[in-house]
Amino acid sequence: MANHTPLSYLDPARPEPWASFIEQIDRVAPHLGHFSHWLETLKRPKRVLIVDVPIVRDDGSIAHYEGYRVQHNLSRGPGKGGVRFHPAVTLNEVMALAGWMTVKNAALGLPYGGAKGGVRIDPQAFSRAELERITRRYTSEIGIVIGPDKDIPAPDVGTNEQTMAWMMDTYSVNVGHTASGVVTGKPIALGGSLGRLEATGRGVYIAAREAGLRIGVPISGARVAVQGFGNVGGVAARVFRENGAKIVALQDAQAAIANPDGIDITAALAHAAAHGSLAGFFGAEPISDEEFWQAECEYFIPAALEGQVTPERARNLRTRIVVEGANGPTTPAADDILQERNILVIPDVLANAGGVTVSYFEWVQDFSSFFWSEEEINARLESIMMKAFAAIWQTARERKVSVRTAAFIIACQRVLAAREQRGLYP
d(CA 80, CA 116): 7
* 27 contacts 332 by C-beta, under 8 angstroms: yes
Residue 387 designated active-site: no
| Amino acid at site 230 | G
* 32 contacts 409 by C-beta, under 8 angstroms: yes
d(CA 151, CA 145): 7
Residues in the chain: 426
* 154 contacts 80 by C-beta, under 8 angstroms: yes
Q: Give the active site residue among 43, 46, 104, 116.
A: 116
Contacts (Cβ under 8 Å, ≥6 apart) of 69: 49, 51, 94, 115, 116, 117, 142, 145, 146, 151, 153
DSSP lists the bridge partners of residue 328 as none
Nearest to 232 by CA among 181, 194, 264, 269: 269
CA torsion angle for 17, 27, 151, 123 (degrees, to 10)?
Answer: -20
CA distances (Å), origin 258, targets 172, 178, 278: 46, 47, 11
10 Å Cβ neighbour count for 217? 18
User: Mind telling me the catalytic residues?
Assistant: 116
